[in-house]
């Protein structure tokens, strides 16, 4: 007897502003989100500001060498503390000059000693859970969240096996892509290659062998999807690779639910994706390319250009068309293609993704 068909999610999961707000207050506020790279804050007092789930945050390097993240808000009268990037000996609020140590502890403020019972030891910036994941800084607004190694078992070590020089890497280039679609549309598109042979000729013919492409959910219950495939034959590759290093002729990607992916291109080239949800109809995708110490590389620059002009551009049109279609009265979610043999033409990864999407809203 055939198993019942599994249908795609209802359109409302992508188009309903109330569902988006539920995700912002729930899912995106209690999962691990990419903040930045350690190379952005190499020195004591270095900081960068960013936003997660609608919250303004900043990450700063302490005198003890630790990277800490705080809500970007003064505990006095709620003024924003820092902007963009910089370096500081102490954090000074521009509004009334309340001053904080790099640990977040209040240090001083004009005339506070005149206030009877004022105890500056009781005032501290609100800290956010922060982890260094192979040099990538992640944050989680949920103080009780499990560690990244529990969320994504084995991934830290697997990435290091494919990218043995990861501790020496720094971003060479960031490619910022605005997409007029719900963030989940973009994540789904990334998480299947059913569309690749049809839509991504350069990627499918000059980087990977689509017939070997597979995506597997984590067997230990972690929130990770692993993409694996072989690279194209050397005479078809669109860029030169060093075949002397382990895994050099493989492509592997680790998608970390809900908004981050590490990719190792053939030749052990590290590339990342991370998403930012802007509103129910818009998201931004950041594509990172890395080299040792961020050193200039014609090969990586060329690969970044090739990727932006082909795969990325092709995906923009795909996801924006899907988002428009989700608003059509004529759309009735069809069954997912779940091939028991799996492989490139199966949507098992989408089934798992949509399970997580549904649980995040309906639980």
* For range 334-361, the mean pLDDT: 93
Average pLDDT of the chain to the nearest whole number: 95
Give Dmax over CA atoms of the chain in angstroms.
80
In this predicted structure, what is the pLDDT of residue 209? 87
Q: Which of 321, 1, 297, 294 is nearest to 182 (CA)?
A: 321
Looking at the structure, tell me whether residues 51 and 119 fall in a common domain: yes
pLDDT confidence tier of residue 153, bands split at 50, 70 and 90: very high
Looking at the structure, tell me whether residues 42 and 167 fall in a common domain: no
Residue 100 to residue 179: CA distance in whole angstroms: 38
In this predicted structure, what is the pLDDT of residue 127? 98
Looking at the structure, tell me whether residues 309 and 179 fall in a common domain: yes
Q: What is the pLDDT of residues 200-232, one digit of tens each?
A: 998 888 888 888 899 999 888 899 999 998 888
User: Does a structural domain hold residue 148?
Assistant: no
* For range 115-130, the mean pLDDT: 97
Looking at the structure, tell me whether residues 286 and 217 fall in a common domain: yes
pTM to 2 decimal places: 0.95
In this predicted structure, what is the pLDDT of residue 1? 57
Domain extent at residue 238 = 153-362
Q: What is the pLDDT of residues 303-316, one digit of tens each?
A: 999 999 999 999 99
Q: What is the pLDDT of residues 266-303, one digit of tens each?
A: 889 999 999 999 999 999 999 999 999 999 999 999 99
CA atoms within 13 A on the CB side of 141: 17
Q: What is the pLDDT of residues 175-193, one digit of tens each?
A: 999 999 999 999 999 999 9
Dihedral, CA of residue 296, residue 301, residue 302 and residue 305, to nearest 10: -170
User: Does a structural domain hold residue 344?
Assistant: yes
User: Does a structural domain hold residue 13?
Assistant: no
Question: Tokens standing for 229?
Answer: 């495939």
Where residue 58 sits, what CATH number does that domain have?
2.102.10.10
Angle at 32 between CA 176 and CA 163, to 5 degrees: 70
In this predicted structure, what is the pLDDT of residue 207? 87
In this predicted structure, what is the pLDDT of residue 233? 83
Looking at the structure, tell me whether residues 168 and 303 fall in a common domain: yes
**Domain end among 140, 170, 202:** 140
Looking at the structure, tell me whether residues 278 and 308 fall in a common domain: yes
In this predicted structure, what is the pLDDT of residue 363? 67
Q: What is the pLDDT of residues 55-103, one digit of tens each?
A: 999 999 999 999 999 999 999 999 999 999 999 999 999 999 999 999 9
Looking at the structure, tell me whether residues 106 and 211 fall in a common domain: no
In this predicted structure, what is the pLDDT of residue 96? 98
Residue 256 to residue 211: CA distance in whole angstroms: 24
User: Does a structural domain hold residue 145?
Assistant: no
List the single range of 22-31, 72-81, 111-120, 210-219 with lowest mean pLDDT. Answer: 210-219
Indicate the helix (H) or strand (E) that contains 99.
Answer: strand 99-100
User: Does a structural domain hold residue 54?
Assistant: yes
Q: 191 with 216: CB under 8 angstroms? A: no
For the chain, the domain total comes to 2
pLDDT of residue 134 exceeding 80, the answer is: yes
Looking at the structure, tell me whether residues 86 and 178 fall in a common domain: no
Question: Tokens standing for 121?
Answer: 């030891």
In this predicted structure, what is the pLDDT of residue 70? 98
Looking at the structure, tell me whether residues 98 and 191 fall in a common domain: no
pLDDT of residue 256 exceeding 70, the answer is: yes
Looking at the structure, tell me whether residues 130 and 223 fall in a common domain: no
What Rg do the C-alpha atoms of the chain give, in angstroms? 22
Percent of the chain whose predicted confidence (pLDDT) is above 70: 99
In this predicted structure, what is the pLDDT of residue 67? 98
User: Does a structural domain hold residue 22?
Assistant: no
Q: The tokens 């990244």 sit on which residue?
A: 148
Looking at the structure, tell me whether residues 113 and 39 fall in a common domain: yes
Looking at the structure, tell me whether residues 174 and 283 fall in a common domain: yes
User: Does a structural domain hold residue 19?
Assistant: no
Where residue 348 sits, what CATH number does that domain have?
3.90.380.10
User: Does a structural domain hold residue 303?
Assistant: yes
């Amino acid at each position: 007897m055939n198993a019942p068909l599994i249908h795609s999610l209802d359109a409302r999961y992508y188009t309903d502003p109330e569902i988006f707000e539920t995700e912002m207050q729930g899912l995106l506020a209690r999962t691990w989100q990419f903040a930045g790279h350690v190379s952005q804050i190499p020195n004591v007092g270095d900081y960068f500001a960013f936003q997660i789930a609608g919250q303004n945050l900043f990450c700063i390097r302490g005198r003890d060498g630790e990277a800490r993240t705080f809500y970007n808000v003064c505990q006095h009268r709620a003024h924003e503390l820092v902007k963009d990037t910089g370096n500081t000996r102490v954090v000074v609020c521009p509004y009334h000059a309340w001053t904080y140590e790099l640990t977040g502890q209040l240090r001083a403020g004009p005339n506070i000693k005149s206030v009877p019972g004022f105890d500056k030891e009781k005032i501290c910036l609100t800290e956010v859970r922060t982890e260094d994941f192979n040099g990538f800084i992640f944050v989680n607004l949920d103080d009780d969240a499990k560690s990244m190694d529990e969320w994504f078992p084995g991934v830290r070590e697997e990435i290091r096996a494919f990218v043995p020089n990861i501790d020496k890497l720094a971003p060479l280039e960031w490619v910022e892509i605005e997409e007029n679609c719900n963030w989940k549309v973009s994540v789904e598109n990334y998480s299947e290659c059913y569309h690749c042979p049809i839509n991504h000729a350069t990627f499918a013919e000059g980087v990977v062998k689509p017939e070997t492409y597979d995506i597997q959910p984590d067997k230990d219950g972690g929130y990770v999807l692993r993409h694996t495939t072989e690279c194209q034959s050397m005479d078809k590759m669109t860029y030169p690779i060093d075949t002397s290093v382990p895994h050099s002729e493989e492509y592997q990607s680790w998608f970390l639910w809900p908004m981050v992916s590490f990719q190792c291109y053939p030749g052990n080239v590290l590339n990342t994706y991370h998403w930012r949800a802007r509103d129910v109809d818009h998201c931004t995708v950041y594509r990172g390319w890395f080299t040792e110490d961020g050193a200039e590389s014609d090969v990586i620059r060329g690969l970044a250009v090739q990727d932006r002009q082909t795969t990325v551009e092709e995906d923009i049109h795909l996801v924006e068309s899907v988002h428009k279609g989700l608003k059509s009265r004529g759309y009735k979610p069809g069954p997912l293609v779940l091939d028991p043999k799996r492989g490139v033409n199966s949507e098992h990864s989408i089934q798992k993704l949509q399970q997580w999407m549904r649980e995040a809203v309906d639980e």
